[in-house]
C-alpha cells in the first residue's frame, strides 16, 4: 500500500506505524524520512472502535429494528448471547434484541445450547446506522 507523506507522518505520530526503511539521512524533524512503514496496529479496527457508538439498549433496539432476533416479533428485552451469568457482557457483539417470550425460553443458555438461531446480523453499528441515541 502506498500512502502519501502526510498520511505517513500522521501514522507515525499516532504510533500506528513505525519506519522500517528510511531514505538515507533525510529527516523530517526528529523522524527519519520514511520509505517503508510497518503497521504496528490493525489501524482499521482501532479506528472503527474509537469512532463507533458505545453500546446502549436504545442503540441495540435501533440496530435490530425493535424486532426479536429469534422470532421476529416485537422486541422489548435485551438478550445476552453469552449469558451474563456466564460472564457475557453488554456489548454489540454479545447482545440481540428479543421479545420476553424468547428471552425466557432461551433463559441462561447460549443459542447453540438452546437451538435457537439468531436471525439478525450481530455487529457493532456505526453512529449513522443507529442514529445518535446515547
Binding residues vs Zn ion (CB under 5 A) = 68, 70-71, 73, 99, 102
Q: Which of 56, 86, 75, 83 is nearest to 120 (CA)?
A: 75
Report whether 104 contacts 78 (CB < 8 A): no
Q: Considering the complex, what minimum distance in angstroms separates the CB of residue 105 from Zn ion?
A: 8
Identity of the residue, 88 or 100, whose beta carbon is nearer to Zn ion in the bound complex: 100
Tell me the CA distances in angstroms from 126 to 5, 18, 60, 66, 101, one per residue in order. 29, 29, 11, 17, 29
Identity of the residue, 61 or 102, whose beta carbon is nearer to Zn ion in the bound complex: 102
Q: Considering the complex, what minimum distance in angstroms separates the CB of residue 59 from Zn ion?
A: 19
Indicate the helix (H) or strand (E) that contains 77: strand 77-80
Identity of the residue, 71 or 133, whose beta carbon is nearer to Zn ion in the bound complex: 71
Q: Considering the complex, what minimum distance in angstroms separates the CB of residue 124 from Zn ion?
A: 23
Q: Considering the complex, what minimum distance in angstroms separates the CB of residue 63 from Zn ion?
A: 16
Identity of the residue, 45 or 117, whose beta carbon is nearer to Zn ion in the bound complex: 117
Cα torsion at 107, 109, 114, 115 (round to 10°)?
Answer: 120
Amino acid at each position: 500500500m502506498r500512502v502519501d507523506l502526510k498520511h505517513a507522518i500522521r501514522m507515525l505520530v499516532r504510533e500506528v506505524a513505525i519506519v522500517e526503511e528510511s531514505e538515507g539521512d533525510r529527516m523530517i524533524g526528529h523522524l527519519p524520512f520514511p520509505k517503508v512503514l510497518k503497521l504496528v496496529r490493525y489501524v482499521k479496527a482501532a479506528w472503527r472502535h474509537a469512532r463507533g457508538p458505545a453500546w446502549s439498549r436504545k442503540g441495540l433496539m435501533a440496530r435490530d429494528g425493535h424486532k426479536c432476533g429469534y422470532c421476529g416479533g416485537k422486541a422489548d428485552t435485551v438478550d445476552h448471547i453469552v449469558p451474563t451469568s456466564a460472564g457475557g457482557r453488554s456489548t454489540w457483539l454479545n447482545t440481540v434484541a428479543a421479545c420476553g417470550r424468547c428471552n425466557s425460553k432461551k433463559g441462561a443458555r447460549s443459542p447453540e445450547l438452546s437451538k435457537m438461531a439468531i436471525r439478525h446480523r450481530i455487529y457493532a453499528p456505526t453512529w449513522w446506522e443507529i442514529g445518535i441515541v446515547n
